[in-house]
Amino acid sequence: MAAHYVVRSVDRADTDTITALRRAGVASAHEAAGRIGLLGPAVRARQTGAVIAGSAITVSCHPGDNLMIHAAVEVCRPGDVLVVTTTSPSTDGMFGDLLATSLRAHGVIGLVSDAGVRDIAALREMGFPVWSRAVHAQGTVKASPGSVNVPVVAAGQLVRPGDIVIADDDGVLVLPVAAGRQVARAAAERLANEADKRARLESGALGVDMYNLRPLLAELGVEYVDRLPADGA
């Protein structure tokens, strides 16, 4: 029989780094990180406008069984993000408003699930943000062993306990703790650069000039003409 664990200790990133990455958001942090760490688009926001960043508490569950989510609550700390996976594909509603109430009482700021959630209206009303593969009313049992705080794969992305999780309307990004500070600095520089570009675009500048794209267009054989040539010309 395979071993199952609840690991109590997790190495987390510092608060300033997590705050900076939350401020950057998923898209900018993803670019700053060299386009790594992004979960696949099947896991998506189930509300509008929520932005979170925190440390991953990972959960590996049997499909259709949320026993290990309950076990995970005990090891969570304020500011953590619960990342739930299943050992084979599942869309069952493994998480709802009661578990959200429990997690919130322990300071957890959101859920990322490569399975399903339910009670979505109640979750939105209480302001507990979730990102999931599905919204599905199918219930679950509490019967099968799994593990907490072991490496898992969510929507094709490896997630380690303590990894930095950033999630917003654009999706979910996961970064190793060791990369957090460097990515936060690069993201801040990128945001400053984008602010300058935004101001120039607002003033009427054209992207083809701002990015010096005219030589590339010419090299690719793109021609500027006032009208298309007449047929047969």
pLDDT for 211 beyond 90: yes
Summarize pLDDT for 22-73 with one digit per residue, the tens.
999 999 999 999 999 999 999 999 999 999 999 999 999 999 999 999 999 9
Does residue 233 register a pLDDT over 60?
A: no
Neighbours of 164 (CB within 10 A): 26
Rounded to a whole number, what is the distance in angstroms from the first to the last CA of the chain?
A: 77
Binding-site residues from annotation: 96-99, 118-119
Contact 101, 127 (CB under 8 A): no
Among 175, 149, 163, 156, residue whose Cα is nearest residue 58:
149
User: What is the per-residue DSSP string for 103-145?
Assistant: HHHTT--EEEEEEEE--HHHHHHHT--EEEEEE-----BS---
| Residue 232 burial (10 A CB sphere; 0-12, 13-18, 19+) | exposed
Arithmetic mean of pLDDT over the chain = 96
% of the chain with per-residue pLDDT over 90: 97
Q: What is the mean pLDDT of residues 175-179?
A: 98
Instruction: Give binding residues for Mg(2+) as ranges.
Output: 119
Annotated binding site for substrate: 96-99, 118
pLDDT at residue 26, rounded to an integer: 98
Q: How far apart are CA 45 and CA 131, in angstroms?
A: 4
What global pTM score does this model have?
A: 0.93
Cα separation, 3 vs 217, whole angstroms: 58
Helix (H) or strand (E) holding 42: none
Complete domains list, the chain, with CATH:
15-186 (3.50.30.40)
- Over 80: is that where the pLDDT of 231 sits? no
